[in-house]
Amino acid sequence: MATFVLRVWLPDRPGALGAVASRVGAVRGDVIGIDIIERGAGRAVDELVVDLPEPGLIDLLLAEVGQVEGVDVEDVRPLAGPPEDPAVLALRVAVALHGARGEERWARLVAGARELLHADWAVLVDPANGEVLAARGDDPPAAAWLAAFVGGALAEGVTPEVAELAVASLGEVGPVLVVSRQHLPLRGREREVLESLARLG
């Protein structure tokens, strides 16, 4: 078996998800997981975890799903093994944070943020001092850029709406958690996950 995650846009109406699942079944696939990422304006963004009998069927699957009216595939990625339950992963991150202090807690916080959001990188920055407190991932920007980006957003009192970046403050005057995912926009529920994680920090 080959396992893939499909992120799809579909009409937020009864039967739309069933029509997509029917197309998965038409290529002998099986939907083994569903995660609702975002809803609004009559559309929904869902992630479907799909088992296929063989990897070569993925192109046929995408063609089948693309024939469902109003449905678009935003992203597809293979999984190396069985999918991890997001709730279990979130609890594991919370347990890792429990009892940790100082730099160790910050390191676990950014590692958890990166893992939960499949981010390219995660950084905890102190915008007041222009200092990176912890970082995990590939090629995060320099501390000065991060501090300026976060400081500007906080000065305006708004969260920046940049598709590939998400930020969450650990407190009113505390450090700020920043994550980036270049290949796939960070959606509403994922930003809520980051904000909840920051409150644990």
What are the pLDDT digits (tens) for 100-130? 998 999 999 999 999 999 999 999 999 888 8
Structural domain boundaries, residue 188 = 86-200
92 and 73, same structural domain?
no
Q: What pTM does this model have?
A: 0.81
pLDDT band of 172, cuts 50, 70, 90: confident
Which of the listed residues 79, 110, 137 is the one where a domain comes to its end?
Answer: 79
Q: Give the dihedral of Cα atoms 197, 11, 159, 113; nearest 10 deg.
A: 20
Q: In the chain, where do the E strands start and end?
A: 2-11, 30-40, 43-52, 72-79, 121-126, 131-137, 165-169, 176-180
Asked if 120 and 181 touch (Cβ cutoff 8 Å), the reply is yes
When divided into structural domains, the chain yields a total of: 2
91 and 70, same structural domain?
no
CA distance 135 to 143: 10
What are the pLDDT digits (tens) for 27-65? 999 999 999 898 888 999 999 999 999 999 999 999 999
What is the CATH number for 15?
3.30.70.260
CA distance 46 to 69: 16
114 and 190, same structural domain?
yes
Query: Treating both helix axes as pointing N-terminal to C-terminal, what angle do 188-200 and 86-97 enclose, rounded to 10 degrees?
Result: 20
68 and 14, same structural domain?
yes
Asked if 137 and 115 touch (Cβ cutoff 8 Å), the reply is no
